A and B are shown apart, each in its own frame.
Chain A
Amino acid sequence: MNETEIQTAVTPAEGPIIEVNSMHKWYGDFHVLSDINLKVKLKERIVICGPSGSGKSTLIRCINRLEEHQRGQIIVNGTELTNDIKNIEKVRTEVGMVFQHFNLFPHLTILDNLTLGPIWVRKTPKKEAEETAMMYLEKVHIAEQAQKFPGQLSGGQQQRVAIARSLCMKPKVMLFDEPTSALDPEMIKEVLDVMIDLAEEGMTMLVVTHEMGFAKSVADRVMFMDAGQIVEQNSPHDFFDNPQNERTKLFLSQIL
């Protein structure tokens, strides 16, 4: 199918919000992602787990074009990701990302961190952007820190601000790249609670994480990746209680 056919065949309302077809990626000579096929429906919550180097972070970073794929197609919200910068920016407006190391902007206040995207990308007027920002800050239970700078907050608080920052862009999909891996156990809970709230409100989420408790309670699908391939994917119940693949069994025995 050529590009125009794809764009008319998949409409955001009915078809999958993210479609990855036979995607391959190389870092130089190293074949990091191999024949990835994935369809994500609206409001679906997918947890991706696997050992280090399996390509899980690379996969989700391909979805908002932080990494480029060399073969295959990635279609997000009806737009195919190619080298066309306009398509890339269109996709990035609809896809929010939360990073392992928060990546807040240290020279701006928390409020400015949140309003930056809406004001400059969506051209929202400043007052409206600030109201939305305060609303999301209250949602992640951190409204009182609005005038502080990221360096003055703890890790868990910074990650919640990062989540609120992505939400201010009102994305259709949220990508989470090991959001709690850099946090200590108490802070992990406060961030996971926010993510669970988000999931229960119907946000489409792709989460790369080692937090299996989160997967069991909230995920629609759990995907196991190893060596650049999707080895197994299933509903949480079937995935954890009845793993099919030997590699999955080995991984689960070590992590649970």
Chain B
Amino acid sequence: MSAPATTPTREYLKPPVTEVGVIGWLHANLFNSWFNSILTIVMLLVLWQLVPPFFSWAFIDSVWNSPAEACRDIDGACWSVIPQNISFIVFGFFPDGQQWRPGIAMLLLIALVIYSKDRKHWKKSLGVYWLVGLIVMGTLMYGGVFGMPVVETDQWSGLPLTFMLALFGMVAAYPLGVMLALGRRSKMPAIKTLCVIYIEMIRGVPLISLLFMSSVMFPLFLPEGVTIDKVLRAQVAIIMFTAAYIAEVVRGGLQAMPRGQFEAADSLGLNYNQTMRLIILPQALKIVIPPSLGILLSAFKDTSLVVIIALYDVLKTTKVTLSNPKWTGYSTEAYIALAIFYFICCYAMSSYSRKLEKALHTGR
């Protein structure tokens, strides 16, 4: 009889420390060659020099909401420049007791925007809500009814002005840009020439010069005593400027459409409007979401240029706060806070656009 077979014992060793886990990752990614290893060490030294001092300046030694005098005694950041002046930075020259009005108007605007994000809400009722919302916002800002004193548009400033110029600018410029793009591709010479002239002239000048022209030149052509509201002029300049850029981006999208799509639509008997609305534009606009978003982000940030025509958007109100001798010298903190504000708004738009692209990626 043979002895029962036994499986030979073997040692189960641990894998070498430098190949697995955190150390393994470091080994593979940061220290995998001489050059990379030296680069890693240099970067670590740079970060060591920069990050701890910044951290202690920004968070450890800083004050967050104290009067200006307290700021002079500390080494750290004086973030109080924002909270102490918040009502001027946000509302600008809007009369003190009435600042609840632009506050509510802004919240209403933000609420409408958030509501419109969800594509399930894109029905006729959305248009109605926006119309009602706009009327309410306009009434709140301007006043004159229900005992609210009138506040002229040249006192509208700060955050409400920035949001208003940006939002209405984007919403009006997009359809105008699409029409310009279609017009530029038209076979009718008059329409095509007009669109080309518009696009090339507007693209040839900086926005700041358009704002300047709208503010200085335009009133010269109007009859004596007739003035067009300054905020309206700035708004129109922003719309016209953004539309020209949107037009070219959309035209690129239209050019990318395969000819077969046009031919299939034609062979079914669809006319021009139906072909564009049902077949071509849905596909073309989807393709150009990335560059369109870039243009809209620029439009949002370009609202800060209205300072040239003496309109006080949120950037200018921040600047004015800093010109107060109490708060001069804390511009770093103020501008960092402002940059964070712009970043949050732009990032919200970017991430929405990413989600939109993902949702529209149906079947392709």
Taking beta carbons and an 8 Å cutoff, which residues of A are in contact with B? 64-66, 85, 89, 92-93, 95-97, 99, 101, 103-107, 116-117, 120-121, 148-152, 165-166, 169
Contact = CB atoms under 8 A, between A and B. Distances in A.
A105 B264 contact: yes
A105 B268 CA distance: 12
B263 interface: yes
A97 B260 CA distance: 12
Given A117-B270, A121-B270, A99 B260 contact: yes
Contacts of A149: 362-364
B282 A107 contact: yes
A105 B261 contact: yes
B49 interface: no
A151 B363 contact: yes
A116 B268 contact: yes
Contacts of B364: 106-107, 149, 151
A151 B362 CA distance: 9
Contact of B283 (A89, A93, A107): A107
A99 B260 CA distance: 8
Contacts of B264: 97, 99, 103-105
Given A106-B283, A107-B283, A66 B362 contact: no
B269 A148 contact: no
Contacts of B258: 103
Interface string B226-261: 000000000000000000000000000000001011
A120 B274 contact: yes
A146 B278 CA distance: 19
B203 interface: no
Interface string B181-194: 00000000000000
Interface string B351-364: 00000000000111
Q: Range of interface residues on chain B?
A: 20 to 34
A106 B282 CA distance: 10
B286 interface: yes
A15 to B, nearest CB: 23
A95 B270 contact: no
Interface of B: 258, 260-261, 263-264, 266-271, 274, 278-279, 282-283, 286, 362-364
Given A97-B263, A99-B260, 18 more contacts: A96-B267, A97-B264, A103-B258, A103-B260, A103-B261, A103-B264, A105-B264, A105-B283, A107-B282, A116-B268, A116-B278, A117-B269, A120-B278, A149-B363, A149-B364, A150-B363, A151-B363, A169-B269
Nearest to A95: B267
Contacts of B279: 105, 116
A93 B363 contact: no
Nearest to A105: B279
A64 B260 CA distance: 14
Contacts of A101: 260
Contacts of B268: 92, 116-117, 121, 165-166, 169
Contacts of B260: 99, 101, 103
Contacts of A169: 268-269
Contacts of A120: 270, 274, 278
A151 to B, nearest CB: 4
Nearest to B364: A151
B286 A92 contact: no
B263 A148 contact: no
A21 B267 CA distance: 22
A85 B267 CA distance: 13
14 contacts: A64-B266, A66-B267, A92-B267, A92-B269, A97-B263, A103-B261, A107-B364, A116-B278, A120-B270, A121-B269, A121-B270, A149-B364, A150-B363, A169-B269
A152 B363 CA distance: 6
Contacts of A106: 283, 363-364
A10 B363 CA distance: 46
A230 B55 CA distance: 84
Contacts of B271: 85, 89
Nearest to B362: A149
B337 to A, nearest CB: 43
B263 A89 contact: no
A103 B270 CA distance: 15
A142 to B, nearest CB: 16
A149 B282 CA distance: 15
Contacts of A166: 267-268
Nearest 6 CB-CB pairings of A with B? A149-B363, A103-B264, A103-B260, A117-B268, A97-B267, A92-B269
Given A116-B278, A151-B363, A66 B270 contact: no
A64 B363 contact: no
Nearest to B261: A103
A61 to B, nearest CB: 8
A75 B283 CA distance: 34
Contacts of B266: 64-66, 92
Contacts of A96: 267
A165 B265 CA distance: 11
B269 A107 contact: no
B302 to A, nearest CB: 32
Contacts of A107: 282-283, 286, 362-364
A103 B282 contact: no
A106 to B, nearest CB: 6
Given A99-B263, A105-B261, A107-B286, A148 B363 contact: yes
A85 B286 CA distance: 30
